[in-house]
Amino acid sequence: MPLVSSKPVLEEALRRHFAVGAFNANNMEQVQAIVEVAQEERAPVILQVSQGAIRYAGMEFAAGLVKIAASLVSVPVVLHLDHGTDFEQNVLCLRAGFTSLMYDGSKRPFEENVATTRRVADIAHIVGIPVEAELGQVLRVTDKVTQDDVIAAMTDPDQAEEFVRRTTCDSLAVACGSVHAMTAREATLDIDRLKAIRARVSIPLVLHGSSGVKHESILEAIENGIAKVNVATALNQALIAGIRRAVAELPDETDPRKIIGVGRDEVKEAVREKIRLFGSAGTIDSTGGFTSPKKQFRSADLGEIE
Ligand code: G3H
Ligand code: ZN
């Protein structure tokens, strides 16, 4: 299928209380693993590319790989910019054919975050592309980050209401206890805060830093408005673990496919676990539309972009 916009996909997920997996990819094997499992599990999927991934692969490869992967399957695939930290990056991705953007102004003062998010939303909406924004800050693991820091950076529910109204963003990344790049599932989310945000904000909410969150906490979050769950570290761990195992088992192997291919298989199983956890497995029928007893959601309704 051609790439689709994240907007109808996330809105459907929100209505039906499941979440769409938003998986980060840096290379061909990761892109293939994610999209192949989405197809096998009949799940919509968001393939997201960070600024670091764009620097690593180059814009043409980063966008091109996802477009090719999407064209080979019959489930909705979104190409999303993850943590675009400036206006220019968002414009470049819009031009490159991304079907979903993120402006991350979470490190900026509130008024500057509002103004730039609005600017990105204004231009993206002209061509029908939705924009995710972040309020509060999902921190990144370092030796210095304490639990008090995590709590202090959480999203303020009242501010969230004002932020969404003034920016017209289409989805909102909220800070409620997760931390980017954790390598073990130890974090518990502040579900009461999420409920308070949800009571004031009706657009789909986004969970960042999910690799370090306990599965039961993720499920509660999905019940309370999280419609997009970002996963990066868990997939990177799977890739490296597979590669390490292959190198250990085949120390004299010179064919990289025999080594990296094992990593790709590990990524597939990690993606499958998440897609099933998020409840998105089996939500897409053979035509590429949502299965639903109440409302059939055909591919024509999915806002196909190209
Ligand atoms: O934007 C990407 C995600 O928030 C990934 O976080 O690496 O902790 O899974 P993670
Ligand atoms: Zn993130």
pLDDT single digits (tens) 258-274: 999 999 999 999 999 99
Q: pLDDT band at 193, cuts 50/70/90?
A: very high
Q: Could you tell me if the CB of 288 is within 6 A of ligand 1?
A: no
Q: Say if residue 296's pLDDT is above 50.
A: no
Q: pLDDT band at 297, cuts 50/70/90?
A: very low
> Is it true that domain 6-301 has CATH number 3.90.550.10?
no
**What pLDDT, on a 0 to 100 scale, did the predictor assign at position 301?**
52
Ligand 1 center–CA 226 separation, angstroms: 15
Nearest CA to ligand 1 atom 4: 208
Q: What is the pLDDT of residues 69-117, one digit of tens each?
A: 999 999 999 999 999 999 999 999 999 999 999 999 999 999 999 999 9
Catalogue the active-site residues.
82
What string of DSSP letters covers the chain?
A: ---B-HHHHHHHHHHHT--EEEEE--SHHHHHHHHHHHHHHT--EEEEEEHHHHHHH-HHHHHHHHHHHHHT-SS-EEEEEESB-SHHHHHHHHHTT-SBEEE--TTS-HHHHHHHHHHHHHHHHHTT--EEEEES---B--TT--HHHHHHTSPPHHHHHHHHHHH--SEEEE-SS--BT-SS--B---HHHHHHHHHH--SPEEE--GGGB-HHHHHHHHHTTEEEEEE-HHHHHHHHHHHHHHHHH-TT---HHHHHHHHHHHHHHHHHHHHHHHT-TT-B-TTSSBP-SS--B-GGGG-B--
For residue 233, give the ligand 1 atom closest to its CA.
7
Q: What is the pLDDT of residues 151-165, one digit of tens each?
A: 999 999 999 999 999
Domains of the chain: which residue ranges? Answer: 6-301
